[in-house]
């Protein structure tokens, strides 16, 4: 399962999805992270640069390019949550600390 989560520069769980600067993408197999890549998406910078629709389109493009099947996060705006629901991408609860551990905990539930 390909899972995305907002991360800090240090690899910790970050607070918000739509204003994330970095997003970690994990390939979770057999209860472990088989592959981990951190992308500098800069959504914190681009969030207010245009309309909500253009921002959501950037996020959708990223999710599709990465093949994301679930998002692990502790905060997301209502519009973004609706968009992910429409895409059939579940939103799983994040936990503080190491972002990879947060993904493993969320996908194990």
Q: What is the pLDDT of residues 38-61, one digit of tens each?
A: 999 999 887 777 777 778 899 999
SS3 7: strand
Strands 32-40 and 70-73: unpaired
Angle between helices 78-87 and 52-66 (to 10 degrees): 40
Q: Report how far residue 83's alpha carbon sits from residue 43's, in angstroms, rounded to the nearest whole number.
A: 16
Set out the domains of the chain in order of their start, with CATH numbers.
Answer: 2-108 (3.30.420.130)
25: tokens are 């993408």
Q: Among 5-9, 28-32, 47-51, 89-93, which stretch is predicted with the lowest mean pLDDT?
A: 47-51
Per residue in 13-35, pLDDT (tens digit) is: 998 899 999 999 999 999 999 99
What pTM, to 2 d.p., does this model score?
A: 0.93
Give the strand order in the sheet containing 32-40.
32-40, 22-29, 2-7, 70-73, 91-93
**Average pLDDT over every residue of 83-87:** 96
Residues 3/90, Cβ–Cβ less than 8 Å: no
Percentage of residues of the chain with pLDDT beyond 70: 100
Determine the Cα–Cα distance for residues 6 and 14; give it in Å rounded to an integer: 5
Averaged pLDDT score across all residues of the chain: 94
């Amino acid at each position: 399962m390909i899972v995305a989560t907002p991360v800090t520069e240090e690899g910790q769980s970050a607070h918000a999805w739509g204003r994330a600067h970095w997003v970690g993408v994990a390939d979770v197999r057999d209860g472990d992270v088989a592959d981990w890549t951190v992308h500098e998406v800069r959504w914190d910078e681009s969030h207010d640069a245009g309309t909500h629709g253009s921002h959501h389109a950037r996020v959708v493009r990223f999710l599709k390019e990465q093949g994301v099947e679930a998002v692990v996060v502790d905060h997301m705006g209502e519009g973004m949550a609706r968009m992910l629901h429409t895409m059939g991408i579940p939103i799983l609860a994040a936990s503080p600390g190491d972002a990879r551990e947060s993904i493993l905990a969320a996908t194990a539930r």
